[in-house]
């Protein structure tokens, strides 16, 4: 007994000097010291590091579900590494090595090796770039010269906007925290000294003054002193309630007494076997980080290396000394010296020639053999004295794989005309090399509260996706984790009429709707734009009694006609508004004056403050509608709520007030005092649960029309958002062609404008196959009968086709909600092994997996487009012509048709006849399109509210189509159904077979 009691303490003492072994738990969780891993699916692992060992189990604003069924996996510790392996990926973590970073956490998936976590810790004397650190409600911008790195964080406009840097004091003692900033005339119109709060390790903030500069190009420093222990600390620079903010911050540095502000930035290392972004290295000399040429990896590239330029990447984990391939991804166009020729670079002193590329937007790769020592060393790229004159994007060490985004999203396309450059997209979920890391660390908890303050202790919470080319699996994981895209009411997938022009209730009742009916054009949604408002057309909060004498009566009339309606809102209020006093009282006097409108003080809302949010929501009460269109957001309104972007927060409130939020998304237009489409952290993942994304005011051009083809697919695959609404026809006129209506503009009588007939017809054709078909303009004609005979007939035909497709589209929308795969998608979701599926995103798309749509976006009453047909067989929906897969064809169409194709094995369901709207017309007659001899099936989803739903399976097996009725509930208005099966033959002909199910619940077999 005495020997036994001696041995146990001895083993315990020995264990203190060893890394904590990994422990596996039956719920898919593996813990290794302060690191925790939760295996959620074969392609998804949660990685969490808590320096205080306090892990977070509550749902967050992004991550609403971790209740996955854990897959089979193995967990072991080998040579000091924890190794977790599923059927799709392997994750390795060096036991006891601290927070996740490039050299201690490795992912292998789909043949790719990656470092999912990038953690930049700034030691004493190093430059800490603000854009590399955690941000709260801040945009990264680069529009003022003189900044270091790739940009600066902009604005500090709202309470709780801030940036938090992780620093490391190399020794205990007195330290200076120095901030490099610019302070010009702010978005509030003031040019004065500003204040922010500076806090270390979560302690009470210390207010610092940032003196007024000459302008936004005048970069200065401010500092405060702190006594710090050796080790890591968190330095937070935040706009608190008592601070004025409205500054730009470039960088932060932790310095000792007398140390000059540094020029060398802190970086994370580049792991052997991975491809690393050049802009994350240490750059010296005249070269800059830029982002004006598309197609780069990461956040930008190093632009035009010249003589004296040096780029240093710290390479880690080289297994043994030897010569290894180093792959440079570069562009070599016409340089600043006017020459277009092969260029020479030096890598660790070794010369290499880089051939020319087609232009600066074309990226090439070059492979060098470079000797490297074992372990860690510097990889240095320099130029001869004459300069390299190339742009450098990535450096791959023992790998040629590039981490290139597929798709991308943006808050808005405002100002896009198709000819002013492609809008910058922000990467999301999908990458060509098959992995992604969703950093959920900054997200609030799902109840809106913040995570527990960790003080100086590090904390990381991220979800590693390793999907290879299984892109649909990745979207499914994302939907299960963060919630699927919202299933809108079925009527929302019909036809919308939206026009920025003064309309009255009488106009809608007596002129517009009768014209729809008389011309045989369906209509489901009426959009009432901003001119309906009393007091002020922009931000009034009552309906004008002269235009809408009975607001509830107008909505009741719309419902009686089978329509639904929305009202346009701008989120501010003027000081002389009749509802202002009550709103200010409800807000307890906290509504802030933010400039003037029409010479009157204008006030904005902080939606993160419960009193101001209550005041804002109550303003909507006098205006009955089905849902709200939060249009121009945000007139300086925003949200101080931490861990949730302003858009996400207010859109959720609108979804509670109506059927869904109809708004922009992913950030806030005024975030950081900047207008534009920039994205904010914590935005895209939660947004899709509540929001129909309105993409903003574009221009009426052929190029804009073409640009929206790729944008819809790109946003869908990068965020999981499926409900995306463009202005069909564009918002801003560019043609000057006189339209059909007159209107008053500040007392002057003007004419509306219109598009050329061919442009109008083609845009309506494209819109008929988008997630939402919303005809919209700024005082420009969008109705079929306002155009010539051919365009009128074309638009009428395709709007009726859209209405007939609503049952099919609603089924796709339900699939998107359930699986995460968007309605409109690029071909590579279904055909990831085909290179053409990636190169044709800007010219064609799939609607579901069975319909290929290739819109014509060039002028002419007859025009053509080049179409790539994915593997299989494809039949032209309109002409019956058959195309074999893995081929290209030039397809021509008059205004009465467009290139739309049905996949062999696909099943397309539509209403048999035209209807005026979806809400009032039961689906008692349906048509099924199939191809002769194929096999396939489709699930038709229908619901009736109150959680009642049904699925009718339609199965083709060669010459037989079987309708398997729903079990249980079925739409009450449908007692029996007439079925029409259209069989598309290989010779281009069709045959039609009709059958009737005496009961909607009867199984029906149709011989074809």
Strand partners, 939: 953
Q: 403 — alpha (psi -120 to 50), left (phi > 0) or beta?
A: beta
Work out the mean pLDDT of the chain and round it to a whole number: 93
Q: Return d(Cα 833, Cα 110) in angstroms, integer.
A: 13
How high is the pLDDT of residue 670?
Answer: 67
How high is the pLDDT of residue 341?
Answer: 96
How high is the pLDDT of residue 22?
Answer: 54
Q: What predicted TM-score, i.e. pTM, was given to this entire model?
A: 0.95
Q: Return d(Cα 431, Cα 850) in angstroms, integer.
A: 24
| Listed range (197-201, 636-640, 776-780) with the worst mean pLDDT | 636-640
Structure tokens that stand for 859 in this block: 């002028």
Q: What is the mean pLDDT of residues 138-152?
A: 91
How high is the pLDDT of residue 415?
Answer: 87
923-981 pLDDT, tens digit per residue, is 999 999 999 999 999 999 998 766 778 899 999 999 999 999 877 667 777 888 999 99
218-248 pLDDT, tens digit per residue, is 999 999 999 999 999 999 999 999 999 999 9
pLDDT confidence bin for 718, thresholds 50/70/90 = very high
Q: Return d(Cα 665, Cα 390) in angstroms, integer.
A: 36
User: Is the confidence at residue 815, as pLDDT, over 80?
Assistant: yes
548-563 pLDDT, tens digit per residue, is 999 999 999 999 999 9
How high is the pLDDT of residue 974?
Answer: 83
Helix residue ranges, H only, 943-1003: none
Structure tokens that stand for 230 in this block: 């050796």
pLDDT confidence bin for 5, thresholds 50/70/90 = very low
22-37 pLDDT, tens digit per residue, is 555 558 999 999 999 9
pLDDT confidence bin for 669, thresholds 50/70/90 = low
pLDDT confidence bin for 187, thresholds 50/70/90 = confident
Structure tokens that stand for 249 in this block: 């911050």
275-296 pLDDT, tens digit per residue, is 999 999 999 888 899 998 989 9
In the DSSP assignment, the letter for residue 33 is T
How high is the pLDDT of residue 426?
Answer: 93
Q: What is the mean pLDDT of residues 435-453?
A: 94
Strand partners, 614: none
In the DSSP assignment, the letter for residue 570 is -
pLDDT confidence bin for 6, thresholds 50/70/90 = very low
681-705 pLDDT, tens digit per residue, is 888 999 999 999 999 999 999 999 9
- Using an 8 Å Cβ cutoff, are 719 and 690 in contact? no
User: Is the confidence at residue 671, as pLDDT, over 70?
Assistant: no
Q: What is the mean pLDDT of residues 649-661?
A: 96
How high is the pLDDT of residue 10?
Answer: 29
pLDDT confidence bin for 8, thresholds 50/70/90 = very low
- Using an 8 Å Cβ cutoff, are 177 and 226 in contact? yes
Q: What is the 3-state secondary structure (H, E, C) of 300-317?
A: CEEECCCCCCEEEEEEEE
Q: What is the mean pLDDT of residues 413-438?
A: 92
User: Is the confidence at residue 595, as pLDDT, over 90?
Assistant: no
Q: What is the mean pLDDT of residues 787-803?
A: 98
Q: What percent of the chain has pLDDT over 70?
A: 96
363-395 pLDDT, tens digit per residue, is 999 999 999 999 999 999 999 888 889 999 999
| Listed range (62-76, 103-117, 329-343, 994-1008) with the worst mean pLDDT | 994-1008
């Amino acid at each position: 007994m005495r020997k036994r009691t001696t041995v146990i303490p001895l083993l315990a003492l020995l264990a203190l000097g060893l890394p904590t072994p990994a422990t596996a738990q039956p719920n898919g969780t593996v813990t290794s010291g302060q690191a925790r891993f939760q295996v959620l699916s074969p392609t998804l692992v949660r990685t969490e590091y808590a320096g205080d060992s306090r892990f977070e189990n509550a749902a967050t604003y992004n991550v609403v579900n971790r209740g996955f069924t854990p897959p089979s996996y193995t967990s072991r510790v080998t040579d000091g590494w924890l190794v977790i392996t599923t059927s799709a990926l392997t994750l390795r973590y060096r036991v006891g090595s601290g927070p996740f970073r490039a050299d201690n956490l490795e992912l292998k998936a789909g043949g790719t090796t990656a470092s999912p976590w990038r953690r930049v810790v700034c030691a004493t004397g190093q430059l800490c770039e603000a854009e590399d650190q955690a941000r709260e409600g801040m945009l990264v911008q680069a529009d003022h010269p003189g900044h270091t790195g790739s940009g600066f964080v902009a604005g500090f406009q709202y309470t709780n906007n801030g940036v938090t840097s992780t620093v490391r004091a190399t020794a205990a003692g007195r330290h200076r925290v120095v901030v490099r900033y610019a302070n010009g005339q702010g978005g509030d119109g003031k040019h004065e000294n500003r204040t922010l709060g500076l806090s270390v390790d979560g302690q009470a903030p210390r207010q610092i003054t940032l003196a007024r500069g000459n302008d936004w190009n005048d970069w200065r420093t401010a500092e405060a002193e702190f006594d710090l222990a050796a080790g890591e600390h968190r330095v937070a620079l935040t706009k608190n309630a008592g601070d004025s903010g409205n500054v730009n911050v470039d960088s932060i540095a932790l310095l000792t007494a007398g140390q000059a502000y540094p020029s060398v930035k802190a970086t994370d290392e580049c792991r052997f076997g991975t491809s690393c972004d050049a802009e994350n290295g240490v750059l010296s000399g005249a070269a800059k980080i830029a982002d004006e040429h598309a197609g780069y990896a990461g956040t930008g590239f190093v632009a035009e290396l010249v003589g004296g330029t040096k780029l240093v990447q710290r390479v880690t984990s080289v297994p043994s000394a030897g010569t290894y391939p180093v792959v440079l991804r570069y562009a070599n166009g016409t340089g600043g010296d006017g020459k277009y020729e092969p260029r020479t670079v030096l890598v660790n002193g070794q010369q290499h020639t880089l051939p020319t590329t087609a232009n600066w937007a074309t990226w090439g790769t070059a492979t060098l053999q470079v000797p490297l020592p074992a372990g860690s060393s510097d990889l240095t790229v320099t130029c001869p004295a004459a300069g390299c004159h190339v742009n450098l994007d990535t450096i791959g060490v023992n790998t040629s794989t590039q981490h290139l985004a597929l798709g991308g999203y943006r808050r808005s396309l405002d100002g896009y005309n198709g000819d002013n450059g492609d809008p910058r997209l922000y990467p999301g979920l999908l990458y060509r090399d098959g992995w992604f890391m969703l950093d959920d660390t900054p997200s609030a908890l799902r109840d809106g509260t913040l995570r527990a303050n960790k003080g100086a202790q590090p904390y990381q919470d991220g979800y590693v996706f390793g999907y290879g080319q299984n892109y649909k699996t990745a979207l499914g994981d994302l939907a299960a984790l963060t919630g699927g895209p919202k299933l809108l009411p079925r009527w929302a997938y019909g036809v919308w009429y939206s026009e920025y022009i003064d309309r009255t209730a009488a106009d809608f009742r007596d002129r517009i709707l009768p014209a729809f009916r008389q011309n045989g054009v369906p209509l489901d949604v009426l959009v009432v734009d901003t001119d309906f408002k009393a007091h002020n057309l922009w931000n009034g909060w009552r309906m004008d009694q002269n235009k809408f004498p009975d607001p509830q009566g107008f909505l009741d009339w719309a419902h009686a006609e089978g329509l639904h309606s929305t009202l346009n809102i701008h989120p501010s209020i003027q000081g002389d508004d009749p509802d202002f006093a009550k709103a200010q009282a409800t807000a307890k006097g906290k509504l802030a004056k933010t400039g003037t409108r029409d010479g009157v003080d204008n006030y904005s809302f902080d939606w993160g403050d419960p009193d101001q949010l209550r005041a804002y929501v109550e303003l909507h009460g006098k205006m009955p509608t089905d849902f709200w269109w939060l249009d121009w957001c945000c007139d300086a309104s925003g949200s101080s709520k931490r861990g949730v972007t302003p858009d996400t927060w207010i859109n959720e409130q609108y979804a509670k007030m109506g059927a869904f939020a109809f708004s922009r998304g992913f950030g806030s237009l005024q975030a950081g005092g900047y207008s534009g489409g920039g994205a904010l952290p914590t935005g895209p993942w939660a947004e899709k649960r509540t929001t129909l994304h309105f993409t903003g005011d574009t221009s009426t051009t052929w190029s804009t029309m073409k640009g929206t083809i790729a944008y819809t697919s790109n946003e869908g695959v990068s965020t999981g958002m499926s409900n995306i609404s463009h202005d069909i026809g564009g918002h801003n006129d560019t043609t000057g062609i006189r339209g059909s209506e007159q209107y008053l503009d500040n007392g002057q009588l003007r004419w509306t404008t219109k598009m050329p007939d061919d442009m109008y017809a083609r845009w309506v054709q494209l819109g008929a196959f988008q997630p939402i078909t919303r005809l919209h303009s700024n005082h420009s004609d969008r109705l079929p009968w306002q155009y010539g005979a051919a365009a009128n007939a074309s638009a009428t035909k395709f709007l009726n086709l859209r209405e007939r497709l609503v049952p099919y589209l609603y089924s796709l929308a339900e699939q998107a909600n359930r699986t995460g795969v968007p309605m409109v998608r690029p071909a590579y979701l279904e055909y990831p092994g085909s290179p053409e599926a990636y190169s044709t995103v800007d010219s064609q798309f799939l609607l579901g997996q069975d319909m290929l749509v290739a819109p014509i976006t060039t002028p002419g009453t007859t025009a053509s487009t080049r179409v790539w047909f994915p593997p299989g067989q494809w039949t032209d929906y309109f002409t019956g012509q058959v195309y074999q897969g893995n081929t290209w064809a030039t397809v021509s169409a008059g205004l009465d048709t467009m290139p739309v194709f049905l996949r062999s094995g696909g099943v397309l369901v539509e209403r048999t006849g035209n209807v005026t709207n979806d809400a009032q017309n039961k689906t008692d007659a349906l048509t099924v399109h199939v191809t002769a001899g194929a096999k396939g099936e489709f699930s038709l989803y229908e619901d009736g509210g109150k959680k009642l739903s049904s699925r009718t399976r339609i199965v083709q097996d060669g010459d037989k189509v079987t309708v398997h009725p729903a079990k249980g509930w079925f739409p009450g208005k449908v007692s029996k159904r007439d079925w029409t099966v259209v069989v598309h033959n290989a010779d281009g002909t069709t045959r039609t077979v009709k059958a009737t199910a005496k009961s909607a619940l009867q199984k029906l077999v149709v011989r074809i």
